[in-house]
């Protein structure tokens, strides 16, 4: 009993007090809420505060405070948000979207003795606040700190301390009127028009993470801005439109994908490389949404020169006979490019019905097609057979035989694992 009481006391102290740097550096690290009360729908910020209380200058890694795909990075904060009853709030991004986990490019922040560094972390990236009431946040972060040599101004080779911030924070969410939300978001909308570069990143983060219906015209104009004039990542604006989720927002995304959107200058969208990348991203978002209402428009893009491969891959997400027919037909296309993208589209269906067709493509005359069919089967089934990067026809045939043997044995009982959605739309 005494041991349990001591453990509980230590946990309480850790949650209640800021962490203190040890070793050669002296500093305080803690999380604090900016306010005690918030309106339902407005941005909820939690500040990470690091104060240099020692006599030496310290340095630590820093980047713009936004959630990243790789949640295993040591320097990243972790937020566990629950309601008053202890029930976890829904995570807007339960798993990373797209691609492998990557690293984050950090810069370095320097603090002289007595200085304080503050980062504003938008909790709405970690939790959906959809109901009024009391909310609890368990905020945690461990940040390596180095000291600067007073003579050479060079950082120490190894961290001098690992301050750990661990805080339990409470705030209350109240219902809001539309007028109140207009007022709450006005500073961020004004910042989008400001010429001050430092105001832009946080404003973009807020308006694309928490888009409101009255943002629509602003987001549409920003998404269709000419690439040479945009001061923002237009893909981030597309994400904001998708998160808004209204029919006009998705219609804008579709028009951008088709290349029929009118840019802010009043001219048709250009076909430059940056514009093609934006259109490809719009297709990817439409694939994630899987709204079959857009299929006729996508099918009309199949024979186009631009983005044909992206369209074929997107069709697979809809699991619709119209799209599947096109993909199976493209497996016999004369160009290897079309066959590759048809394979990738069929893989996106996440259905065992496509496996026989993918097995047949293991004997395609083009090495690239054979490789992609092999990787598509691995992705779909979770089964692994070794195939070298420059496999000959003979090696490909041997691996294809192994795949067919596996299919004869396991095909009847095989059930593909469908990936859960990774976005909040």
Whole-number Å distance between alpha carbons of 348 and 282: 17
Q: Where in the chain is the domain with CATH 2.60.40?
A: 2-176
Q: How many CB atoms lie within 10 A of CB 339?
A: 22
Task: Report percent pLDDT > 90 for the chain.
Answer: 72
Whole-number Å distance between alpha carbons of 139 and 241: 29
Taking residues 17-24, report their average pLDDT: 55
Q: Are 367 and 384 in contact (CB under 8 A)?
A: no
Taking residues 206-224, report their average pLDDT: 96
Q: Are 173 and 135 in contact (CB under 8 A)?
A: yes
pLDDT on residue 3: 43
Listed residue (128, 133, 287) closest to 210, CA to CA = 128
pLDDT band at 51 (very low <50, low <70, confident <90, very high): very high
Whole-number Å distance between alpha carbons of 321 and 316: 10
pLDDT on residue 264: 54
CATH class of 2-176: mainly beta
Residue 199 DSSP one-character state: G
Q: At what angle do helices 216-223 and 247-258 cross, to 10 degrees?
A: 10
Taking residues 77-87, report their average pLDDT: 96
Give yes or no for residue 137 having a pLDDT over 50.
yes
pTM of the model: 0.86
Alpha helices in 71-196 (DSSP H): 178-193
pLDDT on residue 271: 55
pLDDT band at 9 (very low <50, low <70, confident <90, very high): very low
pLDDT mean across residues, the chain: 89
Residue 420 DSSP one-character state: P
How far from the centroid of its chain's Cα atoms is residue 101's Cα? 10
Query: How far, CA to CA in Å, does 151 sit from each of 52, 154, 155?
Result: 19, 8, 11
32-55-161 Cα angle (round to 5): 60
Whole-number Å distance between alpha carbons of 258 and 276: 10
pLDDT on residue 390: 85
Which tens digits make up the pLDDT trace of 157-214?
999 999 999 999 999 999 999 999 999 999 999 999 998 888 899 999 999 999 999 9
- Identify any residues that bridge with 418 across adjacent strands, giving them in sequence order: none
Q: Domain 291-425 adopts which CATH fold? A: 1.25.10
Which tens digits make up the pLDDT trace of 276-306?
999 999 999 999 999 999 999 999 999 988 8
pLDDT on residue 103: 66
- Identify any residues that bridge with 49 across adjacent strands, giving them in sequence order: 30, 118
């Amino acid at each position: 009993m005494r041991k349990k009481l001591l453990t509980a006391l230590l946990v309480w102290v850790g949650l209640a007090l800021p962490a203190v740097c040890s070793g050669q550096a002296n500093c305080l690290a803690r999380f604090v809420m900016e306010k005690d009360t918030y309106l339902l729908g407005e941005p909820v910020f939690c500040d990470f505060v690091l104060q240099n209380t020692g006599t030496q200058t310290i340095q630590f890694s820093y980047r713009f405070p936004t959630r990243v795909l790789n949640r295993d990075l040591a320097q990243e904060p972790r937020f566990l948000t629950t309601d008053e009853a202890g029930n976890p709030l829904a995570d807007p991004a339960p798993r990373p979207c797209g691609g492998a986990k990557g690293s984050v490019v950090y810069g370095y922040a320097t603090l002289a003795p007595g200085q304080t560094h503050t980062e504003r972390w938008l909790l709405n990236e970690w939790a959906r606040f959809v109901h009024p009431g009391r909310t609890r946040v368990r905020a945690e972060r461990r940040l390596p700190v180095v000291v600067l040599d007073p003579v050479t101004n060079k950082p120490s080779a190894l961290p001098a301390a690992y301050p750990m911030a661990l805080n339990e924070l409470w705030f209350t969410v109240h219902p809001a009127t539309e007028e109140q939300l207009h007022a709450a978001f006005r500073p961020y909308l004004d910042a989008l028009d400001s010429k001050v570069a430092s105001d832009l990143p946080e404003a973009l983060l807020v308006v694309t993470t928490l888009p409101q219906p009255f943002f629509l015209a602003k987001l549409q104009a920003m998404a269709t801005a000419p690439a040479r004039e945009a001061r923002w990542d237009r893909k981030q604006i597309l994400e904001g439109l998708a998160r808004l989720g209204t029919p006009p927002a998705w219609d804008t995304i579709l028009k951008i994908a088709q290349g029929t959107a009118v840019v802010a200058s009043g001219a048709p969208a250009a076909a430059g490389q940056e514009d093609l990348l934006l259109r490809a991203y719009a297709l990817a978002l439409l694939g994630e949404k899987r709204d079959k209402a857009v299929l006729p428009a996508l099918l009309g893009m199949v024979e186009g020169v631009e983005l044909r491969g992206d369209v074929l891959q997107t069709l697979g997400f809809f699991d619709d006979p119209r799209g599947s027919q096109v993909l199976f037909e493209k497996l016999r296309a004369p160009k290897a490019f079309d066959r590759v993208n048809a394979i990738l589209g069929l893989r996106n269906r996440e259905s065992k019905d496509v496996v026989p067709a993918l097995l047949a493509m293991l004997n395609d005359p083009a090495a690239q097609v054979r490789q992609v069919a092999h990787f598509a089967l691995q992705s779909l089934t979770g089964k692994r057979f070794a195939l070298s990067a420059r496999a000959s026809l003979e090696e490909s045939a041997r691996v294809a035989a192994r795949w067919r043997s596996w299919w004869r044995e396991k095909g009847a009982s095989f059930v593909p694992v469908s990936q859960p959605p990774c976005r909040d739309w």
